[in-house]
Structure 1
Amino acid sequence: MKLSEITFCIKTIHRPWSCHRLVESLHQHIESPNVIVVDDGRPEARFSGKYPETAKRCTVINMDKHDVGVGVGRNAAVDAVKSEYLFLLDDDHVVTPNLNLDTFIERFDNLDVDLLGVRQGSGGRPTMLSPLMNGQRIWMHRGEIRRNGHVAWCHMSSNAFLARTETIRSLRWDEELKTYEHWEFFYRAKLAQLQVAVAGDCFIRHAHVTSDAYRPLRGRSKFRSMGLRKHGFHSMRYPGGQIVRA
């Protein structure tokens, strides 16, 4: 795999400075990266309007409608990819030398993986999705299926991962889920028997940025309930023990 065969995909809304920071970090550490940004923010808060010079270094897709959601936005990015591989990123990620991209790519090439994630500082550890209570509750917990050195196979990685474009086009994100889409995407990857793994010595910096315009869009639990009910679950247990109900 060559870097020219990878497209970095970013979905953003109402965090133009954060998206600018990520794109700049990609160019700082990767030579001529292919970058697609999908923005479904309001026109006055769009990345391309706030940072036009940075946006010129990307393919920017400004959605016609505001708040189409993560599912629609990410699928639009994936559909626009022309390369064999894609690397998904959140708009509040920052690339640093700790990504160890050459090592990361080598592992993807040489190991039995369909989707290989990186760590996010102390987060992004290998995670399992296990049904409880006769399949009525889904348990999100730390764990792994097997390990080869720093690479651990599991059910769920961070939102920073590398995969073949066709793999993600087949799986896609549920477009009804505007948020709380992460676990549901990986649960379907598990059902599809995709090989998901995390490279424990490759890191992306997760430098969270919030705003008054962004915060209400993220915290809409009705979409978590939709995902749970879709798969027949009445509740979810998080790694820390918190239980939320559909």
Structure 2
Amino acid sequence: MIKIPDITFCIKTIHRPWSCHRLVESLSKHISYPKIIVVDDGRPVRRFLSKYPETASQCTVIHPEQTDVGVGIGRNIAVDAVKTDYMFLLDDDHVITENLNLDRLCDRFDKNDIDILGVRQGSGGRPTMLSKLMNGQRIWIHRGETRRNGYVAWCDMSSNAFLARTKTIRALRWDEAIKTFEHWEFFYRAKLAELKVAVAGDCFVKHAHVESEDYRRLRKRAKYRSMGLRKHGFHSMRFPGGGVVRA
């Protein structure tokens, strides 16, 4: 059985120090003595450690040598620093509540054939599939699942809040060239590697987005979406709502 000391929570953050502070505080409130690694590649004046030193003292905080190394490098740095058998990925604008049901999540991971077990993000984070359209030239992100066991649904992609074995994620890793729009590409490679991805539909984190102008500018760099699409031979992507973007 997976226990809390067996898990390290990994957070990549940039230019949202208050958001990271809020997440760490929520982890400490709902989980006893959580192990937390924060990778912050922001400018020194916008760092979590400098803005909230008391909260940051509850974590291992890592500052890469360069700023804006991107999500891929930042998350890989975090996972490489993990010393436990399991890791739990979180975005810095998540908030932990009692609805995480971590003991239940760990039990589900133990009892099922799963490599990555995601949780819901309020109304988001439902089981999602990655399918090819247009003779394999378009990737379609859509709701769906391949099978289900109670609240656990197997699929291709979960939210960015998930539990996994550390060795699994170290082997898969994030593409370090892709600074943003990394989510689907990570899970598409998990699909190609035949990893077993599932979502626990009764376990939740709160996604409480925190907006800032410089964060928005960093996040919405479409060239990285194009990079991921071209890497896998796609000329376009279709979203669940039907919208299409091109590489």
**Same fold at TM > 0.5:** yes
Task: Verify: 1:79 aligned to 2:63, yes or no.
Answer: no
Instruction: State the 1:121 CA deviation.
Output: 0.4
Please tell me whether residue 207 in structure 1 is matched to residue 208 in structure 2. yes
Residue type of the partner of 1:10?
I
Q: Which amino acid aligns with 1:122?
A: S
Partner SS, residue 228 of structure 1: helix
Percent of residue pairs identical? 76
Query: Quick one: distance in 2 between partners of 1:222 and 1:213?
Result: 17
Give the CA deviation at 1:237: 0.2
CA deviation after TM superposition for structure 1 residue 155, in Å: 0.1
TM-superposed CA distance for 1:104, in Å, is 0.7
Q: Deviations over 1:109-168 (max 9, x none)?
A: 111100000000000000000011110000000000000000000000000000000000
How far apart are 1:64 and its partner, in Å? Answer: 1.3
Which aligned pairs between 1:125-144 and structure 2 lie closer than 5 A? 125-144=126-145
CA distance in 1, matches of 2:218, 2:8: 27
Distance 2:211 2:167 in 1: 32
Q: Deviations over 1:171-224 (max 9, x none)?
A: 000000000000000000000000000000000000000112211000001000
Question: What's 2:146 paired with?
Answer: 145
Q: Secondary structure at the match of 2:37?
A: strand
Give the distance between the partners of 2:128 and 2:232, measured in 1 at CA: 19
Distance 2:77 2:194 in 1: 24
How big is the shift at 1:245?
A: 0.3
Any gaps of 5 or more consecutive residues in structure 2?
none
Spell out the pairing of 1:1-246 with structure 2 (5 A cutoff).
Answer: 1-246=2-247
Q: How many residues align?
A: 246
Which whole-Å CA distance do the structure 1 matches of 2:14 and 2:39 have between them? Answer: 8
* Distance in 2 of aligned mates of 1:212 and 1:41: 14
TM-score of the superposed pair, with normalisation by structure 2: 0.99
- Measure the CA separation in 2 of the matches of 1:33 and 1:77: 15
Q: What letter matches 2:131 in structure 1?
A: S
What is the CA distance between 1:63 and its match in structure 2? 1.4
Paired residue type of 2:113: D
SS for the counterpart of 1:194 is coil
Question: What is the Cα-based RMSD across aligned positions, in Å?
Answer: 0.4
Structure 1: which 5+ runs fail to align?
Answer: none
- Residue 141 of structure 1: SS of its match in structure 2? strand
2-side partners of 1:2 and 1:159: how far apart? 21
Q: Structure 1: which amino acid aligns with 2:115?
A: D
Q: Which amino acid aligns with 2:234?
A: F
Displaced runs of 4+ in structure 1, greater than 6 A? none
The separation in 2 between residues aligned to 1:196 and 1:40, in whole angstroms, is 29
SS of 2:214 mapped into structure 1: coil
Deviation of 1:240 (Å): 0.2
What is the alpha-carbon distance in structure 2 between the residues aligned to residue 79 and residue 120 of structure 1? 26
CA distance in structure 2 between the aligned counterparts of 1:182 and 1:12, rounded to whole angstroms: 15
Distance (Å, rounded) in 1 between the aligned partners of 2:5 and 2:38: 17
**For the residues of structure 1 that align with 2:222 and 2:123, how far apart are their CA atoms?**
25
Provide the rounded CA distance (Å) in 1 between the counterparts of 2:82 and 2:53: 21
